[in-house]
Amino acid sequence: MPGFRQRYLQRLMLLFLIVTAAAGLAPGTARSEEKMIASPRVLVLNSYHKGFEWTDEETAGITDALKKAELHPVIYTEYADWKRFPSEYNRENLFSNLLYKYSGTDIDLIVAFDDFAVEFALQYRKSLFNNAPMVYAGVVEEAADTLLHGQRNVTGVLENVDPIPTIRTAKAVNPGLSSVYLLHDRSESGIMTGKQIQEKIRMTYPELTVVPLDDKTFPQVLDVASGLNPERDMIFMTTYYSDASGSTVEFEKASKDLSLTSKAPVYHLYNFGMNYGGFGGSTISGKKQGEEAAALALRILKGERADEIPRVKPEVFTTTFSYEMLRKFGIGEERLPEGSIILNKPFSFYDEYRPLVLGVFWSFVALVGFILLLLLHIRQTRRMRRRLAGSNMELTMLNRNLEASEEVLRRQFKELSFVKESLFVSEERFRLATDGSEAVIWDLDMEKGRSYYSDRWYELMGYPRDPYIISDDGWRQLIHPEDVEEADRAMQAHLRGETPFYAAEYRMRKQSGEYIWFQVRGKVSRGNKGEPKRFAGSMTDITERKNYEAMLQKSYQELEATYEEVTALQDELMEQYDKLVKNQAMLARSEERYRLITEATNDGVWEVDYTTGETFISPRWWDLMKVDPSRRVKDFAFSEMIHPDDLAGYEHCIEEHKSGKSDYYQYEYRLRLGTGEYRWFLGKGKAIRDENGQIIRVVGADLDIHDLKTSEEKLHDLAYFDPLTGLPNRLSLTEELERYVGDADAHAVIFYMDIDNFKYINDTMGYSVGDELIRLVSRRLDAFTDVEGTFYRLGGDEFVMLHGGYQSPEVVARTADRLIRWLKEPFLVGGSIIHLAPSIGIVRYPEDGRSAEELLMFADVAMYKAKETCKGGYILYGATLQQSFAKRMEIERHLRNALQNGELELHYQPQYELQNDEISGFEALIRWNSPQLGNVSPLSFIPIAEACQLILPIGAWVLVKACRFIRELQRRDGKPYRISVNISVVQLVQDDFISTVLDSLKEADLAPEYLEIEITESIFMESFDRIVEKLDYLKALGIRIALDDFGTGYSSLSYLKALPITTLKVDKTFIDDVPGAAENRSLASSIVMIGHRMGLEVVAEGVESREQLQYLRSRKCDKIQGYYISKPLPEHAIVEWLRETAAAQDISDTPPDSGG
């Protein structure tokens, strides 16, 4: 048994060592210290915004690759957001932001993604990033050749826009493919990508028809897609951010909607399209573009020149398909090209987690092995028990043999009883048998009450031969008290005849006091009546057997206890091992954290132990102080290193902290370096105290803030001065005004200037010309010496002159006149002569306002009033303008609820066609009847609605209501009436303007040719390119475009020819004196002639007499409208008016008031 236990413990110990060794092979938490090297700085500049998937993939590709490199570069990431905000303001803001953030940072490498970022980085890398080397990516070859012309120290990754792999894949899936519908947006990069794709498809697969969809709105694209044939057609989608109308369409939504609507598969050029319903394709990976750029970047960071590294054009295509789309179109995987990747395939736990499953399986096998070891142990235990049972069986057989011997003796005894002559022989035989046997023979004569026990009993028990001892009472006293009851029960059962033999095991007390075990067997002899006569049997000493059984039982219990102890020990060892691993990990993390803090931080760390007097100074601190290693001693006077001007403040700060008035101390001071120069540092520290509050240690750090201090001036300039002109900015002006406002005796005059039509210059001549012109304006203003004042640029084309001191209104007016004349002198920009005229709003402090905010707001109001009334002039803010401003605010307040309160309505003025003498349509005119203000003129509330954006819901309401009105009128009379609706510039510049118009037509069930939108010349001066593009699109749909109030604006004839208009409306001022005034007759006739020669329909407004009608008829004017035909009428009055005019034979003879 001891040997078995030892082997068992050895096996458990071996298993523990195997587990421990396996754990030791796992990756450790502690790492050897690596030598720290200077980390290069890399700026990653993205053209688009964070969250745009292509940009996120490119950024992830380069950052992941660079982070794995041995150089461990510091990566800065910036986003230009050019796709959503492609404006010069965004460019300026990006420049200012980067200048602010990186003015004190040396950038070692620039990585620019996509066209705008590349263009921006090339333009400004010298001024912003010290002409750092550059890597570009995401640019097609043609664009790269243009952008990089004449550039040096640049290399990059060309975007390989190749549709052929996708077309080849599509033909493999659908051999009957005949048409490719190409979808891209109309951005500069989108148009270039679309052009390349069309050329490559037509060159490689001339049998395929390529159908561009960039000339359609997104709803029209969906209509086309819903009618395609999946066997013959496919859609190929590149980037898509806006449709043909200029409306913004998010790529994610566009891709999902197109996938749901299209009857044909939608293939994608870029892999992120597969996340939004794409069918498949050989897609370009943004992440791989980033990884390729990272490879070039690392070569440059390791010392190669960018010029010496050829640009690369990698094949980064991955053929992928969507599992859902394959099921939608019923295409099996066997039709896909070899090596295709299927996305979103139903999850397979084994395929996905195969290493984990195998690990669990082998762990289970190990566990089964361990269980088998336990079962082997149990089997051995059971085998031992069976051996014990075998021993017991042998003893039983021995006992049976003894019983057989007893039977023989009994027969012999009977024979001796019957054979008297053999008595002596029999007695001798019996004596010899009993003496030679180990058993005790006993015999009870129950009739005579006599007992007999063989000598063997006395030998075993050590008692003398005493009749009392073997009597019934004496016998019972010798039996162990615990065995008496059981021995008596067995005897009585036999005597009653319940058992064939008497059998019992019990202990009897020897004379020495010890107990020995006996196995007792006997049988009763009965008389004729069944009464017991004699009771005899044998007793066998089984003490040794009993002791052996007890030893076995004890060994078994000890074995079980040992197993339980080993199990508990194993659990305890595993628990202690887990704690040990956890403690080791915590210790390693703590050590690593401390090492990283002291070595990786830029701070110089130090510690002073007040109890031992020892000082610890980190190597970084000595490096910051530029102290030669040979001179680095712990005993030095730190106070002597502090600049004399900073010493007192530092000592005061330290004493404040030591006295317990602060949790820690922080102070900025200059320290003298080992080179003798002073640099600014930020010192931080904290005193550690014992339980008695006594300082025992002080720990702290010094951070070099010298560059930060020296750059504060630059930051101050960025915050208070305009980067384009160098003039003080709005913040500077506001703070200066606050100083005036704080002085009760101060006086000041503010001249708030805005350059008229400056946006037109930007749109027609370009932003670079506009920027140069702004710089020239600022220089001229700076040279203005008529009065003493300071000029500020607030942004765009807005400037302010602040004059300190009192000026009378007359002097102010003269100053404004001179200022306007000063700026009206021509400017020479890039070989072009440009004439400017400013509009100026003027306020005086304290007469016109008591706060900086009020003064600027009132000056702005006065400036805009000057623009409205006298462009190129000035307005002095006063009581009248104050009243006008208050009235404007009141109108705005009530106008905000006018639409939802039902206070607005439309009136309709008929348009009369002179050639056919009939009503051809109506112009919708808005009216406002306010319960508080009464009838408010459109001339009063429309400009206010435009300024506060209320024109958007009001304009949308007008469009829908007017279209419904004319459609109902068409159904009633069966005539092709046309409705004309005035449109504001605020509506036109909205991204969803085209959708708003088309939705109105759809809701009213009105065909596009029956809608005419009226615009003014001033609209085109606001944002020419954006508006013309939208009007071109609407005109192509059949909607008519009318130019209202022609002759009152600024359009030249060449400018007029560029406008996408169909109708010219002659302003009322040219009709009023016709036919009396010869000058007006000539002008009106000329306008009609010009319009006809340009192929336009001409409509004369404000016709109020029969003579005017006849004159315009003679000049071949197409249509007229005015009070002579009818004043504007509400909707319910139009039907009655049409009935009356239908009864008249010639409306030209109708009196003016017949229109009601």
Per-domain boundaries in the chain: 38-161+269-346, 166-189+204-263, 352-383, 392-550, 601-710, 721-876, 903-1155
Residue 1046 pLDDT: 74
Domain 392-550, CATH number (from 2.40.30.10, 1.10.357.10, 2.40.40.20, 3.30.450.20): 3.30.450.20
* Predicted pLDDT at 424: 55
Q: What is the 3-state secondary structure (H, E, C) of 116-147?
A: HHHHHHHHHHHHHHCCCCEEEEEECHHHHHHH
> For 778-793, what is the mean pLDDT?
87
Fold that domain 721-876 belongs to in CATH: Alpha-Beta Plaits (3.30.70)
Query: Of all residues in the chain, what percent carry a pLDDT higher than 90?
Result: 33
**CA nearest to 997, candidates 950, 958, 946:** 958
Contact 653, 630 (CB under 8 A): no
CATH architecture of 903-1155: Alpha-Beta Barrel (3.20)
E strands, 543-629, are 604-609, 615-617
pLDDT at position 1081, please? Answer: 63
DSSP bridge pairs for 506? 518
| Residue 66 burial class via C-beta count within 10 angstroms: exposed 0-12, middle 13-18, buried 19 and up | buried
Q: Contact 875/840 with Cβ under 8 angstroms?
A: yes
Maximum separation of any 2 CA atoms in the chain, in Å: 191
**Closest C-alpha among 763, 796, 805, 764 to residue 778:** 796
pLDDT digits (tens, 9 = 90+) for 137-148: 988 888 888 888
Task: Say if strands 934-936 and 918-930 run parallel, antiparallel, or are unpaired.
Answer: antiparallel
* Interatomic CA distance for residues 594 and 603, integer angstroms: 13
Mean pLDDT rounded to a whole number for the chain: 83
Dihedral angle computed from the Cα positions of residues 856, 857, 860 and 864, in that order, rounded to the nearest 10 degrees: -170
CB 911 within 8 A of CB 920: yes
What class does CATH assign to 38-161+269-346? alpha beta
**Position 648 pLDDT exceeds 60:** yes
Q: What are the strands, taking DSSP E only, across 219-263?
A: 233-237
Nearest-10 Cα torsion for 934, 937, 938, 939: -140
- Look at 578 and 935; give whichever has higher pLDDT: 935
Phi, psi dihedral angles at 525 (to 5 degrees): -110, 130
**Helix 1078-1093 vs helix 1106-1114: crossing angle, to nearest 10:** 40
538 has which bridge partners? 441, 521
Nearest one of 855, 835, 829 to 844, comparing CA atoms: 855
b/e 914-937 (16+ beta carbons within 10 angstroms → b): beeeebbbbbbbbebebeebeebe
pLDDT digits (tens, 9 = 90+) for 77-118: 999 988 777 878 788 888 888 887 888 788 999 999 988 899
Residue 1054: CB atoms within 10 Å: 7
Distance CA(782)–CA(780), nearest Å, equals 5
Whether 644 has a pLDDT exceeding 70, the answer reads: yes
Rounded Cα distance between 1134 and 25, Å, is: 94
Strands (E), 207-347: 209-212, 233-237, 266-268, 280-284, 317-322, 341-343
Task: For residue 105, give both structure tokens.
Answer: 């940072």
- Going by C-alpha positions, the residue among 840, 829, 723, 824 that lies closest to residue 770 is 829
Parallel/antiparallel/unpaired status of strands 798-804 and 790-795: antiparallel
Question: Which residues lie below 8 Å from residue 1066, measured CB to CB, with a gap of 6+?
Answer: 1046, 1047, 1084, 1087, 1088, 1098, 1099, 1100, 1101, 1117
pLDDT tens-digit map of 1072-1124: 877 665 555 667 888 899 899 989 999 999 999 999 999 899 999 999 999 99
Same fold, 392-550 and 601-710: yes
- State residue 1154's pLDDT score: 40
Distances from the Cα of 577 to the Cαs of 8, 23, 580, in angstroms?
22, 10, 5
Q: Which CATH superfamily is domain 601-710 in?
A: PAS domain (3.30.450.20)
Give the integer Cα–Cα distance in Å for 736 and 754.
21
pLDDT for residue 1156 = 37
Whole-angstrom distance, CA of residue 1137 vs CA of residue 1154 = 9
User: Using one digit for the tens of pLDDT, what is the confidence trace for 830-868?
Assistant: 888 888 999 999 999 998 888 989 899 999 989 988 887
CB 904 within 8 Å of CB 927: yes
The β-bridge relationship of strands 918-930 and 978-982 is parallel
pLDDT at 568: 74
Q: How confident is the model at residue 25 (pLDDT cuts 50, 70, 90)?
A: very low
Q: Phi/psi zone of residue 275: left (φ > 0), alpha (ψ -120 to 50 degrees), beta?
A: alpha
What 3-state DSSP class applies to 267?
strand
| Cα distance between the two ends of the chain | 128
- Looking at residue 1155, its pLDDT comes to 40
Q: Is the pLDDT of residue 1000 over 80?
A: yes
Instruction: Please provide residue 580's backbone torsions phi and psi, each rounded to the nearest 5 degrees.
Output: -60, -45
Lowest pLDDT segment from 252-256, 920-924, 1023-1027: 1023-1027
DSSP tally for the chain: helices H, then strands E? 37, 39
* 448-462, 581-595, 879-893: segment of lowest average pLDDT: 581-595
Over range 596-613, report the average pLDDT.
Answer: 76
Q: How confident is the model at residue 5 (pLDDT cuts 50, 70, 90)?
A: very low
Among 336-340, 377-381, 641-645, 1051-1055, top mean pLDDT goes to 641-645
Distance CA 993, CA 986 (A): 10
pLDDT tens-digit series, residues 269-310: 888 888 888 899 888 888 888 999 999 999 999 999 988 899
Q: What is the rounded distance in angstroms from the CA atom of residue 941 to the CA atom of residue 617?
A: 74
Question: So what's the pLDDT on residue 496?
Answer: 87
Highest mean pLDDT among 557-571, 647-661, 891-905, 1038-1052: 891-905
Contact 984, 946 (CB under 8 A): yes
Helix, strand or coil for residue 505? strand
Q: Are 160 and 144 in contact (CB under 8 A)?
A: no
Helix/strand/coil for 888: helix
Pick from 94, 88, 150: which is nearest to 122 by CA?
A: 150
Separation of alpha carbons 655 and 653, rounded Å: 6
Classify residue 828 as left (phi > 0), alpha (psi -120 to 50) or beta.
Answer: beta
Condensed to tens digits (0 to 9), the pLDDT of residues 524-546 reads: 888 888 888 888 888 888 888 88
Q: What is the 3-state secondary structure (H, E, C) of 178-205?
A: CEEEEECCCCHHHHHHHHHHHHHHHHHC
Cα of 1110 vs its chain's centroid, Å:
70
pTM of the model: 0.47
For residues 130 and 110, give the distance between their C-alpha atoms in angstroms, rounded to a whole number.
11
Q: Give the DSSP H or E segment for 1015.
A: strand 1011-1016
Q: What value does the mean pLDDT take over residues 253-267? A: 90
Output 468-476 pairs: Cβ under 8 A, ≥24 positions apart: none
